[in-house]
Amino acid sequence: YGSLILIDPQVKDDNLMAAIRRITPDQLFPESEIRHGGTNPNRYATAHPLSEQFYICVYDPFGVWNAHFTNNFGIYLLDVFGNRTLLYRDPQISCRDAFPLRTRKMQPVVPHRTLLGKPLAPGEKFQPIDESELPKTANIGLVNVYDSKYPFPEGTKISRLRVVQVLPKPNFVANQPRIGYGNQKNARRILGTVPVEEDGSAYFSVPVNIPIYFQALDENGVAVQTMRSDTYVHAGEELICQGCHEDRHSAITARPQVPQAMRRAPSTLTPDPEGTDPFNYVKLIQPILDAKCVKCHEESDDPKAIDLSRGPENEHFFTSFRNLKPYCFYFDHNHWTDPETMPGKFGSNASKLYRILTSEHHGLKLTPEELYRFTLWMDNNCDFYGAYEECTLQRQGQIVQPSLE
């Protein structure tokens, strides 16, 4: 539901919607133009193209996005010239998913690029095999991590890639439960890290059939760049990335030799610390605060010394988690954050907390692993929970596995 648009993938993205043409400019974009707490019309839905210029859709001139309101969508004919003609409306039942009942040419069949069974001998018929017999991992290659649409900070050396799994939400109600600072964000788990070679290449294996994204880490384990979408790899596939947020309209730069990582076997994922599979603030961060921060902050006369204790047991978030929020960078609603991530300007690098932790704050000395735990947490939106279920158990420090993957 929302505004209907046309996307031309041949037009280069200029961050100003050059590739997008709005068919219904009277309808604002729900995720970007309608601010939190404002009006939220819900007029257009389920469009079906008849041609490049004419479309069928459903429309309600009084449609709203409200659980306590009944919409009445009718079937309309739209065109790119701004015309809208009612074809049918039932006074009692909303219409949805309208399409013409007519003879059409069969669409071309896109061949599978995944492994659905064993290779066939000449004349042998295809026999699907059980999913349990298919490979559980597939390989991904990165040609050059430094091939980027936006340059990395000067002197940056990428040492590893972090692979993060995005976890689906088992219910449809936003922020129930709230898992961290960001609104309407998915929970996640860290699958691990893999090395990046001197020439910027990487080659590694990941689990199949799950949504994942990548982060480029510097020599201190701090994320310099992160994906804001996810990708998948399936059994039998091998994916190759040109770079890290490279210009999608450019070709791969010719190289005099095969990338270093592609000359060896794929790397396997090295797990990250406890409390990241899935995320659990109680395991990952609070033990460090308890050991090295809480006592000093409790005894301090400085009014700026915030409470970093666990706080009341029945609270949804620890007191420390709530009080650290002003010191942390995090992505919030879509219309409150930029659509692209600029290298070195998110996560730890954009957080006051990271600067405090690395400045020997009042004699604070963290071990490399303790500092890495903080940076890992800040680089992944500062979540408290890693699953949408059993929040009480997670607050008690138990690792709860998500019901959906």
> Would you place residue 39 in the very low, low, confident or very high pLDDT band (cuts 50, 70, 90)?
low
Q: Tell me, what's the pLDDT at 392?
A: 95
The secondary structure of residue 397, as a DSSP letter, is T
Segment among 9-13, 89-93, 337-341, 344-348 with least mean pLDDT: 337-341
Residue 69 has pLDDT above 80, yes or no: no
Residue 380 has pLDDT above 90, yes or no: yes
User: What is the Cα–Cα distance from 189 to 187, expressed in whole angstroms?
Assistant: 7
Segment 167-181 shows an average pLDDT of 88
Q: Tell me, what's the pLDDT at 189?
A: 96
Residue 102 structure tokens: 């007519």
Give percent of the chain above pLDDT 70.
93
> Would you place residue 35 in the very low, low, confident or very high pLDDT band (cuts 50, 70, 90)?
low
> Would you place residue 132 in the very low, low, confident or very high pLDDT band (cuts 50, 70, 90)?
confident
Q: Tell me, what's the pLDDT at 397?
A: 93
pLDDT per residue as tens digits for the range 115-131 = 666 667 788 877 777 77
Read off the pTM: 0.84
Segment 10-21 shows an average pLDDT of 85
Segment 297-310 shows an average pLDDT of 88
Nearest to 369 by CA among 308, 293, 288: 288
Residue 336 has pLDDT above 70, yes or no: no
User: What is the Cα–Cα distance from 166 to 185, expressed in whole angstroms?
Assistant: 10
Give percent of the chain above pLDDT 90.
58
User: What is the Cα–Cα distance from 320 to 288, expressed in whole angstroms?
Assistant: 11
Q: Tell me, what's the pLDDT at 197?
A: 97
Nearest to 186 by CA among 391, 388, 400: 388
35 versus 200: the higher-pLDDT residue is 200
How many C-beta atoms surround the C-beta of residue 316 within 10 A? 13
The secondary element (H helix, E strand) that includes residue 86 is strand 84-88
Segment among 47-51, 85-89, 337-341 with least mean pLDDT: 337-341
For residue 335, count CB atoms less than 10 angstroms from its CB and return exposed for 0-12, middle for 13-18, buried for 19 or more.
middle
Residue 40 has pLDDT above 70, yes or no: no
Q: Tell me, what's the pLDDT at 356?
A: 93
Residue 33 has pLDDT above 80, yes or no: no
Mode of pairing for the β-strands spanning 223-226 and 20-22: unpaired
Segment among 106-110, 146-150, 259-263, 340-344 with least mean pLDDT: 106-110
Domains of the chain, CATH where assigned:
1-100 (no CATH), 134-263 (2.60.40), 281-395 (no CATH)
Residue 337 has pLDDT above 70, yes or no: no
Nearest to 213 by CA among 231, 196, 195, 201: 231
Residue 273 has pLDDT above 90, yes or no: yes
Q: Tell me, what's the pLDDT at 335?
A: 58
Q: Tell me, what's the pLDDT at 68?
A: 55
Segment 158-183 shows an average pLDDT of 91
143, amino acid identity: V
User: What is the Cα–Cα distance from 151 to 156, expressed in whole angstroms?
Assistant: 10
Query: Mean pLDDT: which of 60-74, 88-102, 207-221, 243-257 is highest?
Result: 207-221
> Would you place residue 70 in the very low, low, confident or very high pLDDT band (cuts 50, 70, 90)?
confident
Maximum pairwise Cα distance, the chain: 83
Peptide bond into 259 cis (omega under 30): no
> Would you place residue 29 in the very low, low, confident or very high pLDDT band (cuts 50, 70, 90)?
confident
Q: Tell me, what's the pLDDT at 262?
A: 94
Cα-based distances in Å from 376 to 13, 162, 210, 216, 372: 31, 10, 21, 12, 6
> Would you place residue 305 in the very low, low, confident or very high pLDDT band (cuts 50, 70, 90)?
confident
Q: Tell me, what's the pLDDT at 364?
A: 87
User: What is the Cα–Cα distance from 201 to 212, expressed in whole angstroms?
Assistant: 19
